[in-house]
Structure 1
Amino acid sequence: MRSLNYLGILSLLLGVPTHSLKAHDFKTCSQSGFCRRGRALSARAKEAGEAWSSPYSLDPSSISIASNQAIFIAGVKSALYPEINFGLELRVHDDGVVRVRMDEVRGLRKRYDEAASWALISEPTISSDIKWTAGKKDIRAAYGPKKENEVVVTFAPLTVALLRNGKEQVVLNGQGLLHMEHFRTKTQEVTHTEEAAPQEGAEAVSDDAQAVITPTNPRAWFEGDKEDDYWEETFSSWTDSKPKGPESLSLDINFPNHPVVYGIPQHATRLALPTTTGESPFFSDPYRLYNADVFEYLASSPMSIYGSIPVLHAHSADSTVGIFHAVASETWIDVGHSAEKSTETHWISESGILDLFLMPGPTPEDIFKQYSRLTGTTVLPAHWSLGYHQCRWNYVSSDDVRTVQKRFDEEDMPVDVFWLDIEYSEEHKYFIWDKKNFPDPVDMINDVATLGRKMVVIVDPHLKRTSDYPVYQAASEKGLLVKTKSETEYEGWCWSGSSAWVDFFNPNVWDWWKSLFKTQQISTWSWTESTNAVHIWNDMNEPSVFNGPEITMPKDNIHHGGWEHRDVHNINGMLFSNLTSQAVAERSEELTRPFVLTRAFYAGSQRFGAMWTGDNLGTWEHMAVGVKIVLSVNIGGMSFSGSDVGGFFGNPEPEMLVRWYQVGAMAPFFRAHAHIDTKRREPFLLEQPYKGMVKDILRLRYSMLPIWYTAFRETSVTGLPVLRPHYVMFPKDKAGFDIDDQYYIASSGLLVKPVTEKDATEAKVYLPEDQVYYDYFNHHAYRGAANGKEITVPAALHQIPLFIRGGSIVSTRERPRRSSTSMKADPFTLRVALSRTGTARGELYLDDGETYAHRAGHFVWREFVAETPKKKSRTLRIASRDMGVARPGEAVDGVVLKAFNPANAYAQSIADVRVEKVVVVGLNSKPKTVKVEGGADLNWEFTLGVAAADKKEGTASILTIKDPRVSVVKDWAIIVEW
């Protein structure tokens, strides 16, 4: 969020760039010393061909195996530097994940090794079913129910391979690109060795106290013939002092039998990652993971944007395997595909240890579960946060907020949340209201809350450096701020002007930060002009520094523990939002679920809130790539995600805005947002027919809230994403590996094809199976095929290609309301979409939507089933049963319930909520009777379609059962007989 006028002034006065995207604002690999060195290493290996060999080897005599057999430790040497010691450790977890760690041992300094401690929810449980067997050339262990998994460590050269049924899944250092640059002194003279390469007669000399390596030197053969930005690096007008010298980590991670890879968000590109290497790369630079404030980012680029999750899925029709590399420093990743069979990746990180988790799968579902056991699942959000959010930079006053709310109600458009950007605060001193424009903040908040709505207010990580700002003063006096390389308080420039940054790596910060959000005075300063109806937006937390290198903090800044910013950069933003989430949850005695939106994120951020895709443009290209980015971050574990509806920049034409509302309504996080210089574009300002279209879209979203909330319960338990691309749903269908413009909503059976092209009147949809798919709105039946089939469907501007997969039952609430909180007692409609065999199932999850009572078992979790009790029976039985009782001991939002009482307090509170309508789609013929099992006949209507569930395409038959008066919390059955 940038005002170009404001930044223009900053640029003139301070030399701060005005950030429309300029290539020179951000590094390419060739401008980054360690990336350049890593890529050069790869180039030398490729040029050497079969003569290339890794200098790293394992010393078999150093092998130590823990008593439980699951932990294997050994020493590693580099033939280039025999005086340097490395340690290798492998652990096999009880779910089959293999953790591979390598660090320098007894070095001059300590490498940063704490990234995993921030990402993991706990130390993983080690397997008790492992036995290592050492041979002359390797050591290996087979495990799994049928010993189908095997991990093999080869001694010389060192490689680590994960196999399944004898087939290689992941290979580390198979190309010999492993290189952990060891710590050294700047005046250190290189010692000659000849063991790493076939060349002879090499020598090393010292010149001006720095190593100069001749081309015949083995080290030159491996590392290059000169020191390349080892001790200092300049980019534009900034110089990085690099006091620790070179410490980068290079590693090739290859997937010999997997042709497609997904993940490593966040990048604006296709879901199936295009190649960055070879003769005709799609991108010339590697993918970069380095949280950055990229203003107006490109719609197709490997450059980093706001978040970084170093997790990758490699996929084939036979299996899926995953890796998670717990590294927090800047990382570049080259991706290459070979002969449509394998994938080669090269990871180059600036600092840190090798801490790699190999996830064996073998299915996408298994990978998600394995990853979520490591880093946690998406937290079950507050129900209201799944509604519609209205935001812009900026609503300028209390009266502006009230007027916008009034207009929504006058137009009968639902909305749950109103947002305030940076201008609410006095001189951008967050927590402090600008009383000129917001003279009555608590009254304003209460006016919104009275109608069942919430507010979200921005709190950025930079603190204005002024004596009249108590938050800054306290942080400075307590020593809680990030420091420069000289150990003085770091000063940079952001919205507040001269600013300082809280160091969230300092444990002394945590309780202090939480105290700021208390709504009652408990310390020197608390946010008493706030209420529990206010939630928080954390922006600019990459961190964004207007006058810093690459618009961020200098890498040689110092955090708690003496770690440089380069070591922790990608984690920095996560800690800010994580602590904010905890602060909002704990701000009063009445614990309620917080909503915190973050722009920067890392592995594990999903445990604390939502993210959005940042400062996008109001273009068709950005609308389309936003869908792909959201799918990608879902792959990375962050299901609660979305893009700014309408684009942050620009003034989209009405057609584009309608399409963008359709995209937003079918995303987990649904928010409209706009730049301060854009025209006001609240949906009630549109002319007809566009206003009516957007109103219908908003109402559709609210009717589907039970579907979205049930989807979030599922992901909070299983780790499976809310939005599921084709390869997750149909992992063996090769035709769908590259599909990233349609997706499924969890296991609801809903298939979405967003329309992101101008003037579209129809859309092409891929159906992957021999199953019927029904149009959500008119129940037209489309038939897939066993080998996949592309269909063309109507997609005029008022139409959303949305389908119910045959075999699904979805629950909706169809009564229009002003907000989600007004719907809590509303009845339900069940859509029963029969499969080609005449069956269907679905789930519905409910709780109070705001507190943590569900963790104590206060919820309703129902399963709906439609089936024929007996073979060739002329009866369809539609039944409801309790899932909490059916699955005792299953975790709910991370808490395992030892017992479940279906008559819990919440269930009793909605005992009168009923199912008011059941719509059965796809019956073969008109029923004779429809009644509640053990009860009287029901009122129903039947419309005969031209296509049955198991026959040709066309309008399906519809049975509408009116008000069966069955409870949503009770077991019941409806019997349909022919």
Structure 2
Amino acid sequence: MRFWSLVGVVTLLTAGETLAFKAHDFKTCSQSGFCRRGRALSARAKEAKSSWVSPYSVEPSSVSISANQAVFSAAVKSSLYPEINFGLEVRIHDDGVARVRMDEVGGLRKRYDEAASWALIAEPTISKDVKWTTGKKDTRAVYGQKKEIEVVVQHQPLRISLLRNGKEQIVLNGEGLLHMEHFRNKVEATTTEQPEPVEGEGAEGEESSEKAEEQVVLKAENPRAWFEGDTEDALFEETFSSWTDSKPKGPESLSIDIDFPNHGVVYGIPQHATRLALPSTTGKDPTFDDPYRLYNSDVFEYLASSPVSLYGSIPLMHAHSTESTVAVFHVVGSDTWIDVSHESDKSTQTHWISESGILDTFLLPGPTAEDVFKQYTRLTGTSVMPAHWSLGYHQCRWNYVSSEDVRTVQQRFDEEDMPVDVFWLDIEYAEDHKYFMWKDKNFPDPVEMTNDVAANVIVDPHLKRNDDYPAFKQASDLGILVKPPSGQGEYEGWCWPGSSSWTDFFNPASWDWWINIFKPNAVEGRWTWTKSTTDIHIWNDMNEPSVFNGPEISMPRDNIHYGGWEHRDVHNINGMLFSNLTYQAVAARTDPPQRPFVLTRAFYAGSQRFGAMWTGDNLGTWEHMAVGIKMVLANNLGGFSFAGSDVGGFFGNPEPEMLVRWYQVGAFAPFFRAHAHIDTKRREPFLLDEPYKGIVKNILRLRYTLLSVWYTAFRETSVTGMPILRPQFIMFPKDKAGFTIDDQYYIGSSGLLVKPVTEKGAIDAKVYLAEDQVYYDYLTNFAYRGSSKGKEITVPAALHQLPLFLRGGSILATRERPRRASSLMHHDPFTLKVALSQAGTARGELYLDDGVSYDHTKGYFIWREFSAAKSGKKGVRITSKDLGKTKPAEAVDGVSLASYDPSNKFVQSVADVRVEKVVVLGLAGKPSSVKVEGQNEELVWEYVPGVAASEKKDGNASVLVIKDPRVLVKDDWAIVIQ
């Protein structure tokens, strides 16, 4: 079955426009009052140097340790505002993670403290093995298997550090930049008039004009001036371009420095178009002048190198050294700016400045990258097991204009024998952009079309303000739309339908309503999407949210959500709730439920639980192709593995060479989709001339042969949280030369290493091998040798050649028969590719289930381990073992399956699926015998002599091909090569 998706492409284009990134649409730090204040605080601290001391201190008499010894709490005071009270709590979880929370106590108002409730899957379990001890200067907790971890809360000034074996790993407020702006009432005072801002003026011209009108001059001798500055800047009101942001609660920003004293490289905080190892934004030789920003934004044609915020925000940062990996998860949902400074190659300083929220920071102690991913995904959840078909190729365009157009595209793929699983429609399917309502003239038969081709559709969060649109009318009647700053009525903004309003998914009353809309059958008393089927899946676009006539092309910050919270408090979380509810809605259409596919543009920590993401409105340029790889890697580090970039670029008309290279990039991303803007030329792969068309066809087929490899990798990430795409530092954590490599990566635990080519006219490529191991060219079987000191090799990379390697010691299970869709492959036989290591061994896994239901959580699956070990002097024994039987607690989706049945329902449904071929690379010599263990009959095989895995030289590897060994995938067996 092929699936269709009708999706809303989010850009600010109208037909025929030519647009580029418009910097003046988005704030710089100097144009953001709270960021200005935070950066100015840092500047004063650096100027004061050793005389700078944080005003925040623990009240020693208030220190309290919980009865179970795992929770420290205390009152915190600021010497600047002794009348203001703060509460500090540090919890140690049972996996060693330390959670630090600080909030204002008894203030005039309440700070937003619910970000963690949306990101976390459950309240973490407190450790039973921790004991805090309090001294005169600090309170300490020591824990870990060898008591190697220590959390120290220094009392005066407040400083919190996590140490391993006596070495500091993470330090909070070590630089004294902690500042939680307390709530206060506005005081009328002498003001300094400021010139009106000039729309479109750059950062330098707007820096002074963007400050709030009210600037109260403080006395120079006041210590507050020393710490906060001598003026109150944009505390109760702020302008940007033509918009004014009222701040009824006044200042409430949060500044905190988070340092990694013994870690010289940091990664994460997606989403930004930049290198994987984050460059400096301040300090010595900064790459960028502005901090990295986390503020979900509709940034079309974004720059290929920039700290500018993009569509999603995950406030997770990894820090790495040759000794350990640690991370911080700073749970805040508001606009956040992050400065990064590498003052040496052995340490990193960061400064996080958020507009609102409490301090709620998780310190992830590692000490390995694998440990960090486990710790993070125990908090926010792992990537869900996707529907198998969603790992195939997705064909999209804004827009396929009619049912006939859709069917014609599908027929052309079939005629060219090119595989494809998903077709997407864009916003033009909907009448007047009223989602769930088909444009009858162009799509007169949506259900029949979907049954013929199977389709998915776009649903954006804005609702056309029209009473004849049932979705809007119902939402309005239920009172579940976002409100304007007054808190009365409904916020009205401008988006694709024109005048629009937005559902407030923070309001629980919206949840059942949204879920019911997606049901293709009538629901009593509710309007539903009756012209739909359970085969339609969803693309959620524009969910930053994008508002064409709003500040920074988004919703005003003083709009009101459920509970009275302002939009500024929840902005970055908003998009996740939209995809969360859509995911639940699509799952609820069927009984029993089938796995939904939901693609989202905006995301937050935890969004990995609800489907896939893509990197937004990229350009058809070589630079965007290259940075897209880094962005997808960063999302994998952020726990969101199901990620990809639009193949070909959303904007522009890529030349055939670029398009071919982009297909090579896309085919080795977890989410693989080609997409194009409405004004671009048609560029479906079947339209290419030869040889380009043939090359792309081979790339598509290669993706499909490896679908079982991708699916097996998703099983692993669904359990362990380890990313699908793994950069060098994860694979080789002690190899310093690989820490900044971000143009090559490994796919799960498969042993596949890919180096996409992103340069015009390339005929070769350089690949870094970090170990003394053999690597086999996947397509030619040529063997390359690495080095224990690291080695760069040069490999052929003409347009038809993709640098793809199989690491020695790996076994891949692939399906080699060409098919036009993944659904046709379920009963296809497998080929095992055994890449012997220098030691003559290899290992791999294969995971299979029905790919659509949740039966895998009942134990209905196949999970095999394939191993190769030496047998005699030159022989090899290849075995298959049932991992479901030996590792039930690690099965899938985090579900413990102690009652796993090796002959379960799914196994019976594919009982005839066999291994039709075994290819062994690097064998030491020609075999004398190849048999299935326990059988006397010699198997049919061919041997091509070449370099053995154990030899210390490059060259064509020896290849043994075993034809139809007559073994079944479901069974235990052994093939013995003598």
TM-score range, shorter chain: over 0.9
> SS at 1:739's partner residue?
coil
Aligned length: 945
> SS at 1:212's partner residue?
coil
Distance 2:148 2:658 in 1: 51
Is 1:495 matched with 2:496?
A: yes
Distance 2:651 2:888 in 1: 49
| 1:6 aligned partner | 14
CA-to-aligned-CA distance 1:263-289 (integer Å, 9 cap, x gap): 000000000000000242100000000
Further displaced range: 271-280 or 413-422: 271-280
Is 1:182 matched with 2:182?
A: yes
Is 1:652 matched with 2:657?
A: no
Residue among 295, 299, 302 paired with 1:297: 302
Distance 2:189 2:857 in 1: 61
Judged with a 3 Å threshold, the aligned counterparts in structure 2 of structure 1 residues 909 and 88 are, in CA distance, closer, same or farther, namely: same
Cα deviation for residue 215 of structure 1 reads 2.1
Within a 5 Å distance, the mapping from 1:576-725 to structure 2 comes to 576-725=578-727
> SS at 1:868's partner residue?
strand
Q: Which amino acid aligns with 1:6?
A: T
The two structures, once aligned, show a CA RMSD in angstroms of 1.3
| 1:15 aligned partner | none
Distance 2:544 2:714 in 1: 27
Distance 1:398 1:959 in 2: 50
For the Cα contact (< 8 Å) 2:326–2:365, is it kept in 1?
yes
Within a 5 Å distance, the mapping from 1:513-524 to structure 2 comes to 513-523=514-524, 524=526
For the Cα contact (< 8 Å) 2:10–2:541, is it kept in 1?
no
- TM-score normalised to structure 2 length: 0.96
Further displaced range: 627-636 or 208-217: 208-217
Judged with a 3 Å threshold, the aligned counterparts in structure 2 of structure 1 residues 4 and 809 are, in CA distance, closer, same or farther, namely: same
| 2:67 aligned partner | 67
> SS at 1:213's partner residue?
coil
Distance 2:761 2:888 in 1: 51
Q: Which amino acid aligns with 2:844?
A: G
Q: Which amino acid aligns with 2:90?
A: L
Q: Which amino acid aligns with 1:177?
A: L
> SS at 1:889's partner residue?
helix
Distance 1:209 1:472 in 2: 40
Cα deviation for residue 6 of structure 1 reads 2.5
Cα deviation for residue 2 of structure 1 reads 5.6
Cα deviation for residue 210 of structure 1 reads 7.9
Is 1:848 matched with 2:856?
A: no
> SS at 2:903's partner residue?
coil
For the Cα contact (< 8 Å) 1:186–1:209, is it kept in 2?
no
CA-to-aligned-CA distance 1:95-143 (integer Å, 9 cap, x gap): 0000000000000000000000000000001000011011100000110
For the Cα contact (< 8 Å) 2:11–2:300, is it kept in 1?
no
| 2:394 aligned partner | 389
For the Cα contact (< 8 Å) 2:773–2:808, is it kept in 1?
yes
For the Cα contact (< 8 Å) 1:378–1:719, is it kept in 2?
yes
Is 1:775 matched with 2:783?
A: no
CA-to-aligned-CA distance 1:629-663 (integer Å, 9 cap, x gap): 00000000000000000000000000000000000
Cα deviation for residue 587 of structure 1 reads 1.1
Distance 1:5 1:264 in 2: 28
> SS at 1:229's partner residue?
coil
Cα deviation for residue 891 of structure 1 reads 4.5
For the Cα contact (< 8 Å) 1:781–1:949, is it kept in 2?
no
Distance 2:46 2:16 in 1: 47
Within a 5 Å distance, the mapping from 1:122-137 to structure 2 comes to 122-137=122-137
Distance 2:219 2:48 in 1: 17
Q: Which amino acid aligns with 2:746?
A: Y
CA-to-aligned-CA distance 1:352-392 (integer Å, 9 cap, x gap): 00000000000101000000000000000000000000000
Distance 1:331 1:624 in 2: 26
| 2:245 aligned partner | 240
Identical positions, percent: 74
Cα deviation for residue 8 of structure 1 reads 8.4
Distance 1:895 1:215 in 2: 62
CA-to-aligned-CA distance 1:647-682 (integer Å, 9 cap, x gap): 000000000000000000000000000000000000
Cα deviation for residue 888 of structure 1 reads 2.5
Is 1:363 matched with 2:368?
A: yes
> SS at 1:892's partner residue?
coil
Distance 1:209 1:667 in 2: 50
Is 1:912 matched with 2:920?
A: no
| 2:277 aligned partner | 272
| 1:726 aligned partner | 728
Distance 1:490 1:707 in 2: 47
For the Cα contact (< 8 Å) 1:3–1:676, is it kept in 2?
no
- TM-score normalised to structure 1 length: 0.96
For the Cα contact (< 8 Å) 1:726–1:739, is it kept in 2?
yes
| 2:794 aligned partner | 792
Judged with a 3 Å threshold, the aligned counterparts in structure 2 of structure 1 residues 377 and 237 are, in CA distance, closer, same or farther, namely: same
Distance 1:918 1:209 in 2: 76
Distance 1:279 1:888 in 2: 51
Q: Which amino acid aligns with 1:855?
A: T
Q: Which amino acid aligns with 1:678?
A: T
Further displaced range: 482-491 or 501-510: 482-491
| 1:736 aligned partner | 738
Distance 1:227 1:826 in 2: 70
Q: Which amino acid aligns with 1:439?
A: P
Distance 2:477 2:760 in 1: 56
Is 1:507 matched with 2:494?
A: no
Distance 1:947 1:841 in 2: 18
Is 1:104 matched with 2:104?
A: yes
Distance 2:131 2:218 in 1: 44
| 1:57 aligned partner | 57
For the Cα contact (< 8 Å) 1:186–1:210, is it kept in 2?
no
Cα deviation for residue 889 of structure 1 reads 2.0
> SS at 2:506's partner residue?
coil
For the Cα contact (< 8 Å) 1:2–1:675, is it kept in 2?
no
CA-to-aligned-CA distance 1:17-58 (integer Å, 9 cap, x gap): x96311100000000000000000000000001000000000
| 2:47 aligned partner | 47
For the Cα contact (< 8 Å) 1:378–1:715, is it kept in 2?
yes
| 2:341 aligned partner | 336
Cα deviation for residue 64 of structure 1 reads 1.2
| 1:836 aligned partner | 838
CA-to-aligned-CA distance 1:467-523 (integer Å, 9 cap, x gap): 110000000011010000112200000001000000000000000000000010014
Distance 1:152 1:267 in 2: 33
For the Cα contact (< 8 Å) 1:947–1:954, is it kept in 2?
no
For the Cα contact (< 8 Å) 1:3–1:677, is it kept in 2?
no
For the Cα contact (< 8 Å) 2:10–2:298, is it kept in 1?
no
For the Cα contact (< 8 Å) 2:356–2:568, is it kept in 1?
yes
For the Cα contact (< 8 Å) 2:284–2:343, is it kept in 1?
no
| 1:451 aligned partner | none
> SS at 1:630's partner residue?
helix
For the Cα contact (< 8 Å) 1:837–1:950, is it kept in 2?
no
| 2:120 aligned partner | 120
Within a 5 Å distance, the mapping from 1:780-929 to structure 2 comes to 780-869=782-871, 873-929=873-929
> SS at 1:877's partner residue?
strand
| 1:196 aligned partner | none
Is 1:214 matched with 2:219?
A: yes
Cα deviation for residue 899 of structure 1 reads 1.8
| 2:553 aligned partner | 551
Distance 1:6 1:557 in 2: 27
CA-to-aligned-CA distance 1:381-426 (integer Å, 9 cap, x gap): 0000000000000000000000000000000000000101000000
| 2:208 aligned partner | none
Distance 2:216 2:896 in 1: 59
For the Cα contact (< 8 Å) 1:188–1:210, is it kept in 2?
no
| 2:449 aligned partner | 444
Judged with a 3 Å threshold, the aligned counterparts in structure 2 of structure 1 residues 783 and 710 are, in CA distance, closer, same or farther, namely: same
Q: Which amino acid aligns with 1:310?
A: P
For the Cα contact (< 8 Å) 1:328–1:569, is it kept in 2?
yes
For the Cα contact (< 8 Å) 1:755–1:763, is it kept in 2?
yes
- Flag structure 2 segments of 5+ consecutive residues without an equivalent: 1-8, 191-212
Judged with a 3 Å threshold, the aligned counterparts in structure 2 of structure 1 residues 709 and 627 are, in CA distance, closer, same or farther, namely: same
For the Cα contact (< 8 Å) 2:922–2:959, is it kept in 1?
yes
For the Cα contact (< 8 Å) 2:889–2:895, is it kept in 1?
no
Structure number with higher relative contact order (C-alpha < 8 Å, ≥ 6 residues apart): 2
Cα deviation for residue 433 of structure 1 reads 0.2
Distance 2:346 2:72 in 1: 32
